[in-house]
Amino acid sequence: MAKNWTTKEIQYLKKSALLAETNEVLNIADMARKLNRTAQSVQSKVYYLQRSEELPRIDRSKSFDIAGKPWSKKEDKRLIAMKKNGSTHAEIAEHLGRTENSVVSRVHRLKNSGKVKNIRNRWTDEEIQLILDHVKFDSNGFVCNYDELARLVRKQLQQVYAKISRLRKEGVITEAPKQGTTSVKAKESMTRFNDARFAHVPKKKEEVPMNGPTVNQSDVSIESKQVSLILTTVIVSGQRTDQYFTQEGELIATKKEPTSSANEVSK
Helix, strand, coil content of the chain in percent (nearest 5): 45, 10, 45
User: Considering only 67-81, 187-201, 253-267, which range has the smallest mean pLDDT?
Assistant: 253-267
Q: Which domain holds residue 139?
A: 121-195
**CA-wise closest residue to 103 among 93, 115, 111:** 93
pLDDT score, position 5: 92
In a domain, 168, yes or no: yes
- Residue 9's pLDDT band (boundaries 50, 70, 90)? very high
For residue range 50-60, list pLDDT tens digits in order. Answer: 999 999 988 76
For residue range 140-149, list pLDDT tens digits in order. Answer: 889 999 999 9
Whether the CB-CB separation of 150 and 164 falls below 8 Å is answered with no
Could you tell me how far CA 257 lies from the centroid of its own chain? 46
Last residue in a domain, options 130, 164, 195: 195
Same domain, 97 and 51: no
DSSP state of 152: H
For residue range 67-117, list pLDDT tens digits in order. Answer: 567 888 888 888 888 877 767 788 888 888 888 878 888 888 887 777 766
- Residue 266's pLDDT band (boundaries 50, 70, 90)? very low
pLDDT score, position 118: 58
- Residue 203's pLDDT band (boundaries 50, 70, 90)? low
Is residue 11's pLDDT more than 50?
yes
Last residue in a domain, options 195, 214, 249: 195
In a domain, 99, yes or no: yes
More confident residue, 22 or 220: 22
How many domains is the chain built from? Answer: 3
- Report the length, in residues, of the chain: 267
* H/E stretch holding 256: strand 251-258
- CA 32, 68, 58: angle at the middle one, nearest 5? 50
Same domain, 84 and 141: no
